[in-house]
Amino acid sequence: MMHFIKSFLPHNMKRQVKELFVFTTLINLALALVTIFEPIYLYQIGYSLNKIMLFYLLVYVVYFFIIPLGAKFARRRGYELSMFIGSVLFIAFYVSLFFIAKYPILFYITPFIFAIQKMFYWPAYHANFARFSDEKEEGREISAMTVAASLVFIIGPVLAGFIISQWGYGILFTLASVIFLASNIPTLITKENLKPGKFSYKGAFQDLFSKENRKSFLGYIGFGEELVAVIVWPVFISIVISNMFDLGLLITATTFITTLAVFYIGKLTDSKSKRKILALGSYIYALGWFFRIFIVNTLGVFFVDTISRLGKNIISVPLIALTYEKAKDQEASKKRAVMSRILFFEMGLIIGKFLAIAAIFILTSFIGDEALAFKITFILAGAMTLLYTLL
């Protein structure tokens, strides 16, 4: 029995990956407390869905143009320092977000803080993982990371819902900030072996729009659905389920149900065709989006959230594994550094989210019926999900 269980787990994690594992788990614990409540908070303090889209539009426009600077910094100063700065900027972001209710001008400043946070954090995180993950068990290492994140997302939303209902958003953001700081302990106790390298700002944009990368670029645009999942969907379910504790409890339950499947997905990713698994997940996830247009009660939210989380997990593990695999292959052939492929992935993702935001912004500007706007948005997300099959 133990041998069977161990077959789903990674066995050759390098020190850097183990440190990243602990760091990421703590970061995700903090995010599990607050992420789903970001758009809900803005909605509850009086901002319409249209205005919320404007907020995130600013985030991703700025992020798109500054992300190569984050890659340059990580290549010169180290992945771990870059992730440390990114984790501290998480705190600045949530403090600024909290005070929007009191100082509305922060609505236009906070997106810039969030974009800079992303610039430091995400290129360094993915490049670090891609460089040090084990090629033979990459799927299992990614699935282990995903399961760890899922476990804290089982605890996080229900705990956050309880904190908000008892003490409000201020205490929630304070607790998350403490955890963001604590997350850096594993990576800071050991010295990073840094080999500074150069990175071309102009080259990042040339790679993104090159003919050889066109199909992958379209595939990564599929991440536009993720914008709908983390912003529009939480706002929608906060309308269906008005009690924040009940909402957190529901997200906890759906996350728990889908977590166990991730180990199996990781093992399959290491032994079967990654693209076939990715395609299967895309079809399941797309169905989850289309089912959302019929949701009117808590049971419906529970059903589609469970199906959708399962589909997204089936997509995520092979998709990230394929991205890391391509990054290593490019560096091995001395065509590009690992960071080049990581930045291509992130910039394609940003454009996907930008297109989703722009579409939703237009929808909510011209469609007075909010319920109809939600339904069209879910259909859009389902269509974007099918783009993953191009990878």
Q: What's the mean pLDDT when you consider all of the chain?
A: 85
- Domains along the sequence of the chain with CATH: 14-191+200-390 (1.20.1250.20)
Instruction: Name residue 337's amino acid.
Output: A
Torsion sign across C-alpha atoms 300, 301, 302, 307: positive
Q: How confident is the model at residue 4 (pLDDT cuts 50, 70, 90)?
A: very low
Range 77-89 average pLDDT: 91
Residue 364 and residue 383: Cα distance in Å, rounded?
19
Rg (CA), the chain: 20
**What's this model's pTM, rounded to 2 decimal places?**
0.85
Residue 352 and residue 319: Cα distance in Å, rounded?
15
Cα three-residue angle 42-147-167, rounded to 5 degrees? 35
Model pLDDT for residues 9-57, shown as the tens digit of each residue: 566 677 788 888 888 888 888 888 887 678 888 988 999 888 998 999 9
